[in-house]
Structure 1
Amino acid sequence: MKPLDAQRDHYRKLAKEQGYRSRATYKLLELNNSYRIIGPGFNVVDLGCAPGGWMQAAVKLAGNKGKVIGVDTSYMDDVEGARFIKGSVEDESVIDEIIEYLGGRANAVICDISPQITGHWSMDHAKQISLNYSCSKIMDRILATKGNALFKVFDGEYSMEFRDYLKKKFAKVHLKKPNASRKPSSELYFVCLGYGLS
């Protein structure tokens, strides 16, 4: 077995053992351990949340004083301790429902969003970045000053343009590839800290 397969199986096996819905959970936990994107008592919005692994991690990190809500076009089973909205990040009508549930603004917005993959790399990359811009528009309406965000990007020609866009909104933007990501994978993560303090 190749080391890559071993690594992939390790996180998948771990997720199964620990009751998480996806190996992606460990990417969020690892990044949060380094940057404290989500803290106890935080209100968290997960845009593009299916199958729910990040929501499970967010519930754990925010604790019983926090609130977690997720949005996705795909149907998924509810995550205990969180609310799910079936809707699109490209439809800003989800904003009212998010704010109503949270009872105010979010402290963190997390986006592990992916388009329907076509296999045409430039098209998939452009669509994924476009979805991130839609997520950031929602973020601008719901994120509290000093709040944090996390965006997955498919690395490509528009990635740095999106990073520069985020840099105008946050005090700090870090580019990271967590250990739980597959080595050849093109996904990167922008960790954004201190909203409105740029």
Structure 2
Amino acid sequence: MKTPTGAGRGLTTRLRTAKGRTTASQRWLERQLNDPYVRAAKAAGWRSRAAFKILELDEKYHLFRPGQRVVDLGAAPGGWTQVAVQRVGERGKVVALDLLPMDVIAGATLLQGDFQDAAVEQAVLDALDGPADLVLSDMAPNTTGHNATDHLRILGLIELALDFAGKVLVPGGAFVAKVFQGGTERDLLNRLKRDFATVRHAKPPSSRKDSAEMYVVAQGFRGASADAGR
């Protein structure tokens, strides 16, 4: 995938006024104004720059196929969902789930709720009309600024998403989730390796260099029998 023009350059646009803004919010706004991926996402009609992350992961790991059933956990505002809809085509099914309401995305079923709720899990399966081929999670907990605490929080969230994936994935399916630098702890990594044929860590080019985020890409789900051995 071609990197948007201007990626990697220094800041070129400054806010005209900082009135009413904290230093942190001013820095965030300046970064957004000068981020080539933000501009490229807007030009392409993606709801967020995060769309480029899943596009880049797909280019490397071939996650999507026409006709797939896909679940996007923590989907708001919907950038990954948009990409999934485009990649699976009209024969595919995409279900986007979030605690927050989302604006309609043509070609996707949007559900609001907690994926840990059994009724929500069933609603996802009903909307897919069968098991999922791919479960995506770009979820991250609210950060505290304390690295060890934040690392444990993201690992806990991944474990919950993995529990969900184990219930809805078809054998041979795939799971993609956000992690923080340092990757997955040994117990979680062993679990992933037991349940999937291949497990890799990746940092897409569009992921900001100063960000601790990475992604775990697990492919070749071994099926419910592996999950039952926990």
Q: TM-score, normalised by structure 1?
A: 0.91
Partner of 2:19: none
Task: Select the residue among 1, 9, 15 that pairs with 1:3.
Answer: 9
Q: Decide whether aligned partners of structure 1 residues 176 and 18 sit closer, same or farther in structure 2, where only a CA change above 3 A counts.
A: same
The amino acid that maps onto 1:138 is F
Q: Decide whether aligned partners of structure 1 residues 62 and 157 sit closer, same or farther in structure 2, where only a CA change above 3 A counts.
A: closer
1:192 partnered with 2:184: no
Q: Distance in 2 between matches of 1:107 and 1:46?
A: 11
Aligned-partner SS, 2:201: strand
Partner of 2:42: 16
Kindly state the Cα deviation for residue 76 of structure 1 after the two structures are TM-superposed.
Answer: 1.6
Q: Decide whether aligned partners of structure 1 residues 140 and 4 sit closer, same or farther in structure 2, where only a CA change above 3 A counts.
A: farther
Q: Which consecutive unaligned segments of at least 5 residues does structure 1 have?
A: none
Q: Distance in 2 between matches of 1:179 and 1:44?
A: 23
Partner of 2:117: 91
1:125 partnered with 2:151: yes
Give the paired residue count: 198
Contact 2:183 2:201 in 1 (8 A): no
Q: Decide whether aligned partners of structure 1 residues 86 and 72 sit closer, same or farther in structure 2, where only a CA change above 3 A counts.
A: same
Q: Distance in 2 between matches of 1:25 and 1:70?
A: 14
Contact 2:183 2:216 in 1 (8 A): no
Q: Distance in 2 between matches of 1:190 and 1:114?
A: 13
1:107 partnered with 2:133: yes
Partner of 1:68: 94
Contact 2:71 2:95 in 1 (8 A): yes
Q: Distance in 1 between matches of 2:56 and 2:108?
A: 21
Q: Distance in 2 between matches of 1:93 and 1:135?
A: 16
1:45 partnered with 2:51: no
Partner of 1:168: 194
> Which stretch shifts more, 147-156 or 115-124?
115-124
User: Using CA pairs below 8 Å that are at least 6 residues apart, which structure has the higher relative contact order?
Assistant: 1
Q: Decide whether aligned partners of structure 1 residues 5 and 34 sit closer, same or farther in structure 2, where only a CA change above 3 A counts.
A: farther
Structure 1 moving runs of 4+ over 3 Å? 4-8, 156-161
Larger radius of gyration: 2
- Could you list the per-position Cα deviations for residues 65-121 of structure 1 after superposition, in whole angstroms to 9, with x for gaps in the alignment? 000001111222121110111112333332100111111100101110111233333
Q: Distance in 1 between matches of 2:11 and 2:196?
A: 37
| Cα RMSD after superposing both structures | 2.2
Aligned-partner SS, 1:93: helix
Q: Which consecutive unaligned segments of at least 5 residues does structure 2 have?
A: 1-5, 13-30
Kindly state the Cα deviation for residue 49 of structure 1 after the two structures are TM-superposed.
Answer: 0.8
